[in-house]
Amino acid sequence: MGKVEDFLFIHSDLPREGPGDRASLDWALGHLALRPDARILDAGCGPGADIAGLLSHVPRARLLAMETHAAYAARVREAFAQDPRVRVCEGDMARPQGVFDLIWCAGALYFLGVEAGLRGWRDHLAPGGAAVFTDLAWTGAPRSPEAEAFWAAYPAMGARGDVLAATLAAGYRVVADRFLPASAWTAYYGPLEARIQTLRAGGAPSAELRLALDAEQGEIDLWRAHGGEFGYLQVVAVVQ
């Protein structure tokens, strides 16, 4: 298997593909007055971890779940096959079809870049529409060499102020922002670490898979040791 295949194999059947939890979703949507029939785009929905929460806030929603990976899209399609409110589309989240009252993007905006992605979405938001997203940022605490070395792979990573400045530059008003709490990270890393342990205990993985497992565990260990230095900034913004 290659790097992408190893990643997808390790992450298969995980409940979510990045930090986040229901309490953080509730916090974000608590700052918005969405209509009960609001049109929602879940951009880069992964396995669909946030869809049930979004629907609980918008009971008559029309929700489009967009995902580039066919395996994740298939999981969402199966999970919500009996729910007419949910439509699943494999495609580029930079070019969604339609106009929405809310674009929700948990941890996937870095693929587009904050400012570029938000600018592109403006044409797909109704007047007064909102975007809620999370993006990696430095918290302002002193940075360790370990954290800086690890996140060098994400050169666009800035501080909280950089993320908010990019949001404003893209034509949005920031309603609220905060770093995701530790519970949102454990909601992601807990199942991932259990998966790593299962794969290691299940026999002798290939050399490539061992390297991939070590890298995944290394990310978890880095967060435990240096998680106060970086985090996912959750931003609630309204188009101007």
DSSP string, 55-90: HHHSTT-EEEEEES-HHHHHHHHHHTTT-TTEEEEE
- 88-132 tens-digit pLDDT: 999 999 999 999 999 999 999 999 999 999 999 999 999 999 999
Q: Is 30 a residue whose pLDDT tops 70?
A: yes
pLDDT score of 3:
75
Burial class (CB in 10 A: 0-12, 13-18, 19+), 210: middle
29 vs 190: CA distance, rounded Å: 25
Name the pTM for this structure. 0.95
pLDDT score of 146:
98
The answer to whether 19 touches 46, Cβ cutoff 8 Å, is no
34 vs 25: CA distance, rounded Å: 14
Domains along the chain?
A: 19-181+228-239 (3.40.50.150)
- 124-175 tens-digit pLDDT: 999 999 999 999 999 999 999 999 999 999 999 999 999 999 999 999 999 9
First to last CA, the chain: 46
pLDDT band at 75 (very low <50, low <70, confident <90, very high): very high
Task: Give the chain's largest Cα–Cα span.
Answer: 55
pLDDT band at 215 (very low <50, low <70, confident <90, very high): very high
Q: Is 2 a residue whose pLDDT tops 80?
A: no
Specify the DSSP class assigned to residue 196.
H
HSE-CB of 29 using CA atoms within 13 angstroms: 24
